[in-house]
């Protein structure tokens, strides 16, 4: 070794660290075996959840792991309420924040016998919100939302890191905002991939020389001006995929409160079965149609680098759960995805003229501007209808932007049901007691927009 000049040695070590030797223009991946684990809010909803994460990580002590964690339980929802109350100036904001604080300090008391250091760290993190709340609300709601709501992930990742150190698991805390650079689309920030990739490699390398596990936050990033951004609700899966992509991870693992990906949401359906294997394509389709089990942006970066994704039960860490990879010839049972809270917007021109192409391109531009995701659409001679998630302020803004040339009628309280690999029996079951407003069939997928009908029962009195 001595006869290598220092620079050359450094060069070789640097590349070797990420398992890549540059030979001419070709990269040979020697698989440095970084795995990325993601624990969602359900995995860390209480002290037992944190203890369970500790048990899982004990099984992987020798592995180099990036551990991405979401905010505890329903903390993100609670922080959203803080933001709403702050803007409404309804006097409730301090109580709402107090409740979140209590949850976190109760947790700390349950996890650590002597906890001064942890309590100080968490207190300091809450001070960041308190500073914001002392000022009058900033004109940009989404910007403020991100500065406040992101604290949920800061808190959970700090507590988890302290707890793992307490268990003598070799971990370091890492601020993901030093890695994930985004644009400034607050609440739906877009990744600046080239810088993020460089950051990921540069920041993790020295840490992995000392620590086996790096604990970091899901869901959040940073702009070039160092303002915090969020990647969209449920975005921690996406964070894990970004890290996997940027570090050429050997695999990514999402730990869940379900055995794996199921044929339907077990909160809604009784007889669901687990899908042991899924192709990237199938997973992209399912999540695109709204399957809540994985964030829709998660799969593509993994597919691009052929990184397998395991969706695994956190209560049975020996189980592999569902493996999502480049499988080609799998056949699937019917898979059902339910999207509640849908609105059908029927748009027509006031003079009943044809909804011609120039109108459609304008309508689509407005839908994008108002951040309304089109889940289904239909174009007839004189009207155009779209099914979107019911987000009242965005729908109102869209209607206003359409202007006087158009008329819009909204049908609310609807459900969008998507069945992949459907058969007629399953479709019939799904339509029971429902009024079908829209139905669209593709070769592998049927979608219906429905309204639940009240169950009518005949009265027993025959004279009525």
Residues near Mg ion (CB under 5 A) = 40, 234
Q: Give dist(CA 181, CA 203) in Å, integer.
A: 13
| Residue 461 Cβ vs ligand ASP, minimum distance, rounded to whole Å | 51
DSSP 38: E
Asked if 271 touches ligand ADP (CB under 6 A), the answer is: no
Give the sign of the dihedral formed by CA 434, CA 438, CA 441, CA 445.
Answer: negative
- Please name which of 236, 249, 246, 235 lies closest in space to residue 308, comparing C-alpha atoms: 249
**The only residue of 20, 32, 42, 391 in contact with ligand ADP, by rule CB under 6 A:** 42
Q: Give dist(CA 155, CA 101) in Å, integer.
A: 10
Asked if 415 touches ligand ADP (CB under 6 A), the answer is: no
Asked if 317 touches ligand ASP (CB under 6 A), the answer is: no
| Residue 220 Cβ vs ligand ASP, minimum distance, rounded to whole Å | 9
- Distances in Å between the alpha carbon of 131 and those of 35, 124, 443? 37, 11, 55
Six-digit token string for 39: 């624990």
Nearer to ligand ADP, 54 or 266 (CB): 266
Q: Report what 218 binds from Mg ion, ligand ADP, ligand ASP, none; CB cut-off 5-8 Å by kind.
A: ligand ASP
Nearer to ligand ASP, 298 or 385 (CB): 298
Q: Give dist(CA 339, CA 369) in Å, integer.
A: 22
Q: Report what 233 binds from ligand ASP, Mg ion, ligand ADP, none; CB cut-off 5-8 Å by kind.
A: ligand ASP
Taking contact as CB under 6 A, which single stretch among the options 157-165, 290-298, 368-376, 427-435 is the one that binds ligand ADP?
Answer: 290-298
Asked if 267 touches ligand ADP (CB under 6 A), the answer is: yes
| Residue 95 Cβ vs ligand ADP, minimum distance, rounded to whole Å | 25
B/e letters for 409-437, b = 16+ CB within 10 Å, e = fewer, are: ebbeebbbbbbbbbeeebbeebeeebeee
Asked if 187 touches ligand ASP (CB under 6 A), the answer is: no
User: x/- contact string, 207-246, with ligand ADP (CB under 6 A)?
Assistant: ---------------------------x------------
| Residue 350 Cβ vs ligand ADP, minimum distance, rounded to whole Å | 41
DSSP string, 133-176: HHSPPPS-HHHHHHHHHTHHHHHHHHHHHHHHHHTT--EEE--G
Binding residues for ligand ASP restricted to 224-243, rule: CB under 6 A: 233-236
| Residue 339 Cβ vs ligand ADP, minimum distance, rounded to whole Å | 11
Six-digit token string for 148: 């406040």
Six-digit token string for 309: 């994704």
**The only residue of 18, 36, 37, 40 in contact with ligand ASP, by rule CB under 6 A:** 40
Q: Give dist(CA 145, CA 440) in Å, integer.
A: 37
Asked if 221 touches ligand ASP (CB under 6 A), the answer is: no
Count of positions on this chain that bind ligand ADP (CB under 6 A): 18
Nearer to ligand ASP, 64 or 295 (CB): 295
Asked if 182 touches ligand ASP (CB under 6 A), the answer is: no
Q: Find the helix or strand (DSSP H, E) in which 208 lies.
A: helix 193-210
| Residue 317 Cβ vs Mg ion, minimum distance, rounded to whole Å | 19
Binding residues for ligand ADP restricted to 293-322, rule: CB under 6 A: 293
Asked if 157 touches ligand ASP (CB under 6 A), the answer is: no
DSSP string, 240-295: HHHHHHHTT-SEEEEEESSSS-BSS-TTT-SS--B-SEEEHHHHHHHHHTT-TTS-
Nearer to Mg ion, 235 or 317 (CB): 235
Q: Report what 257 binds from ligand ADP, ligand ASP, Mg ion, none; CB cut-off 5-8 Å by kind.
A: ligand ADP
Question: Given its phi and psi angles, is residue 442 left (phi above 0), alpha (psi -120 to 50 degrees) or beta?
Answer: beta
Six-digit token string for 363: 């309508």
Residues that bind ligand ASP in the complex, under the rule CB under 6 A: 40-41, 70-71, 76, 152, 218-219, 233-236
């Amino acid at each position: 070794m001595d006869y290598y000049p220092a620079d050359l040695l450094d060069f070789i070590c640097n590349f070797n660290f990420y398992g890549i030797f540059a030979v001419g223009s070709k990269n040979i991946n020697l698989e440095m075996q970084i795995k990325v684990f993601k624990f969602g809010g359900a995995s860390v909803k209480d002290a037992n959840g944190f203890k369970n994460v500790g048990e899982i990580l004990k099984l992987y002590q020798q592995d180099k792991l990036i551990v991405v964690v979401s905010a505890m339980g329903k903390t993100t929802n609670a922080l959203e309420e803080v933001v709403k109350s702050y803007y409404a100036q309804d006097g409730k904001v301090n109580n709402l924040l107090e409740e979140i604080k209590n949850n976190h300090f109760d947790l700390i008391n349950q996890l650590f016998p002597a906890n001064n250091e942890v309590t100080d760290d968490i207190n300091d993190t809450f001070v960041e919100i308190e500073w914001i709340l002392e000022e009058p609300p900033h004109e940009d709601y989404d910007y403020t939302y991100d500065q406040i709501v992101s604290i949920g992930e800061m808190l959970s990742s700090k507590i988890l890191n302290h707890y793992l150190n307490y268990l003598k698991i070799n971990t370091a805390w890492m601020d993901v905002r030093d890695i994930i650079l985004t644009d400034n689309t607050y609440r739906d920030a877009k990744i600046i991939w080239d810088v993020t990739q460089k950051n990921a490699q540069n920041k993790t390398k020295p840490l992995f020389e000392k620590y086996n596990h790096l604990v970091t936050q899901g869901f959040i990033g940073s702009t070039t001006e160092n303002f915090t951004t969020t990647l969209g609700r449920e975005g921690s899966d996406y964070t894990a995929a970004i890290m996997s992509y940027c570090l050429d991870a050997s695999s990514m693992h999402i730990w869940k409160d379900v055995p794996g990906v199921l044929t339907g949401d077990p909160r809604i359906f009784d007889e669901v079965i687990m899908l042991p294997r899924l192709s990237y394509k199938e997973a992209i389709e399912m999540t695109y149609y709204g399957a809540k089990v994985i964030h829709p942006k998660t799969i593509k970066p993994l597919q691009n680098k052929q990184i397998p994704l395991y969706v695994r039960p956190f209560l049975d860490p020996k189980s592999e759960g569902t493996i999502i990879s480049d499988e080609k010839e799998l056949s699937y049972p019917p898979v059902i995805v339910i999207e509640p809270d849908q609105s059908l917007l029927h748009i027509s021109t006031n003079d009943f003229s044809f909804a011609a192409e120039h109108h459609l391109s304008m309508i689509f531009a407005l839908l994008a501007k108002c951040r309304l995701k089109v889940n289904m659409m239909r174009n007839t001679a004189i009207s155009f209808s779209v099914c979107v998630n019911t987000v009242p302020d965005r729908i109102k803004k869209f209607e206003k932007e359409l202007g006087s040339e158009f008329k819009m009628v909204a049908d609310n309280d609807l459900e969008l049901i998507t069945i992949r690999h459907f058969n007629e029996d399953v479709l019939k079951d799904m339509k029971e007691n429902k009024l079908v407003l829209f139905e669209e069939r593709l070769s592998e997928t049927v979608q219906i927009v429905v309204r639940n009908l009240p169950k009518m029962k005949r009265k027993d009195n025959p004279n009525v």
